[in-house]
Structure 1
Amino acid sequence: MNTASPRPVARRSLFKAGAFGAAAVAGGLALSACGGGSLAGSGGGGGESKTFKLAETHPDDYPTTLGDKKFAELAEKYSDGRIKIQVYPNAQLGEESDAIEQVQMGSIEMTRISSAPMGEFVPAMGLFSLPYLFDDADHLWRFLESESGKKLLGEVDGAGFKGLGYFDPGARSFYTSKKPIKAPTDVKGLKIRVQESQVQIDFIKALGGSPTPMDYGEVYSSLQSGLLDGAENNEPSYLSASHYEVAKNYTLDRHMRVAEVLLINKDTWAGLDTKDQEALQKAADEAAPFQREKWDAQVETDLEKLRGEGVTINEISDLAPWREATKSVIDKHGAKLGEYLDAVEELRTA
């Protein structure tokens, strides 16, 4: 049985504690009985085989899913077959907000999660939701690979997780069903879907819009019905979820570069011996550049596909008015992120 001390659970978990708590207990007892790695772990000499589940929201051929699969392949290789990771794409184990709670409770072992909902569990992760913070992808990765980026990843330890590394989700941009967004004032009055992140909620409010937190799987029908006027996401997500069918105006303002985080349950990690921990970490480190390469290629391909589908793409070249309009968000949420904001600024021209 799991004898670790209780871990903090995010506020929204209070509404689901009964369902997920039962799942965690049942999963933990079953895995303890059969020698699985979810809550107990062997901690032995690396001879026991373990099979872990990794929850993924996106489709089977999506760049983050491909990164998950490469991670699983390398983990099995570097552990000499002792660790097998089953990747479950298409939100088979729940949407991101559900999957992260299940990993925190230990009913599943791993997930690939956006840092935006992670901010509810680890406030410092809200850094990545701050608008127009990074100039481009290279700027983002200079930060992620710096000592500050590694320190930020380590902050998830206090919430019941072990952070194995970052994946690249590109840049998030607006798309709308009716009028296009070409200037900050165009967002005023629009109902925009956001992730469950207070930073993102305040970002939309700063632009005069009406933020609507909603699970990813509900966005298409909500755009179609008019419950939403728009949403925001990267190019592959916009295309793969077919949101372009019901929202044909895409504005490349690239307002957020929200890092993806590869997580494992902290007790599961602690139950591994040193050799298997090293194998998992090495696999994560090598899967990251592979995933980034897949991502960059996918973005170029998907933009061409979107143009072919009749999507109107508006490229924003001058971000100054957007940064000015949303400065209050950084002032509010950046107050406790001083050292990380300083690092971002220092790496802007590195």
Structure 2
Amino acid sequence: MKKSLLKKLAVPITVMSLAISIIGCSAEESSTSSKGDGKSKATGEKITLRLSEAQVDDYPDSLAEKEFAKIVEQKSDGRIKIDVYTAGQLGDEKTTIEQTQVGVIDMGRANAGPLTQFADKFGVFSFPFLFNSRDHMWKAIDNGLGEELFKNLEEKGDLVGLAFYDAGARNFYSKDPISKLKDVKGKKIRVMQNDILIDAFKELGVSPTPLSASEVYSALQMGVIDGGENNVSTYVADGHYEIAKNFTESEHLRIPGVLFMSKKAWDKLSSEDQKIIKEAAKESEKFQQDAYDKYSDEAMKKVEEKGNKVIPLSKEDREAFHDKVQPVYDKYKAQFGDLFKIIDDAR
């Protein structure tokens, strides 16, 4: 009986031992996981940090993170090395956030959308027509919005915010042209599963249809939905431009990416090394923006080559859309009012 029980337990115990071994190796690979004196520069120790990226190797965010790693290595005279793992090798965005929280991964990058589950103030990016332009968003981030969000991220999410990365603007695309507010009324538009966004789209007269990203193509094909909303790069990459041939430059949402670090790993660094990482991350923002511009331009060329209709939204029509969603701003004013003010002051 005892021998039989031992045989049954042998496999689970082996798997558990392997898992513990892997975690142990991870901790040894990163000096910040094994050292906790917070005097990394003073002691001259060499540090290796692991950064998780869900996007592919040549995506703008991945390229910017490699540039970030290069700058950190230069500024630290080769003492701090950052290994960038792309294409989801260490997990998707949600897994990256969770693993970085507990210190299994040292750094990560995720869209502000999933970060809302860990630090609620990031939900401010869910409000349509929040920013007048890309410049307006960056001005707001640099003039207090970024600071408030990073404070929330550290307090609620046990993560240290390092930089914001551009993810472009989300736009409407559909089978029929959309150029005015009346054109969206009754249309079944795929949206992310996001309460604020769903509320806002209902105010516009849209029939918001939450679907996973993988379901959108077939839903467009079968007529389950009339259109969707996303940035031009995803519109092309996911093949939606093959079916929904009208692309409206509504720029109704701007949801940036966020580069962050484990609070556990951060606290083990000296103040000098923390400064190096912060400065390098900030420098990588411009590199990422330039890379993203090229990436988006290439996608737009494909849209035009396909013969799709690109429809600009006039200032007056944009204001009509914005006014229509105002009740949603009023509904959430108690929660986001301080952030709305920072954004309004940056106009």
Same fold, judged at TM 0.5 (above): yes
Out of 30, 37, 58, the residue aligned to residue 36 of structure 1 is 30
Structure 1 stretch displaced more, 69-78 or 130-139: 69-78
Alignment partners' CA distance in 1, 2:293 and 2:33: 36
Number of aligned residue pairs: 324
Identity, in percent, stands at 36
Alpha-carbon contact 1:95-1:217 (below 8 Å) kept: no
Deviation at 1:144, TM superposition (A): 0.8
TM-score by length of 2: 0.82
Matching residue of 2:168: 170
Matching residue of 1:78: 75
Distance verdict in 2 for CA 1:182–1:195, change over 3 Å: same
Q: Deviations over 1:30-84 (max 9, x none)?
A: 333x252574555343333333332323333222222222112212222222332
SS of 1:52's equivalent in the other structure is strand
TM-score by length of 1: 0.81
Whichever of the two has the greater Rg, that structure is: 2
Matching residue of 2:295: 298
Alpha-carbon contact 2:75-2:276 (below 8 Å) kept: yes
- What amino acid maps onto 1:163 in structure 2? G
Alpha-carbon contact 1:100-1:113 (below 8 Å) kept: yes
Alignment partners' CA distance in 2, 1:277 and 1:253: 39
Name stretches of at least 5 consecutive residues in structure 1 with no aligned partner.
1-21
Distance verdict in 2 for CA 1:224–1:69, change over 3 Å: farther
Aligned residue runs from structure 1 range 1-350, under 5 A: 28-32=23-27, 34-37=28-31, 39-42=33-36, 43-46=38-41, 47-158=44-155, 159-176=157-174, 178-207=175-204, 208-212=206-210, 214=212, 216=213, 219-220=216-217, 223-224=220-221, 229-317=226-314, 318-348=317-347
Distance verdict in 2 for CA 1:155–1:299, change over 3 Å: same
Alpha-carbon contact 2:51-2:108 (below 8 Å) kept: yes
Kindly indicate which of the two structures has a greater share of residues assigned to helix.
Answer: 2
Distance verdict in 2 for CA 1:286–1:184, change over 3 Å: same
Alpha-carbon contact 2:154-2:160 (below 8 Å) kept: yes
Alignment partners' CA distance in 2, 1:100 and 1:80: 29
Cα RMSD of the aligned pairs, angstroms, is 2.8
Name stretches of at least 5 consecutive residues in structure 2 with no aligned partner.
1-16
Distance verdict in 2 for CA 1:35–1:194, change over 3 Å: same
Distance verdict in 2 for CA 1:288–1:183, change over 3 Å: same
Alignment partners' CA distance in 2, 1:265 and 1:340: 25
Distance verdict in 2 for CA 1:128–1:25, change over 3 Å: farther
Distance verdict in 2 for CA 1:202–1:72, change over 3 Å: farther
Q: Deviations over 1:279-334 (max 9, x none)?
A: 21111011011212222343334322211123222211121221122222212233
Alignment partners' CA distance in 2, 1:227 and 1:76: 51
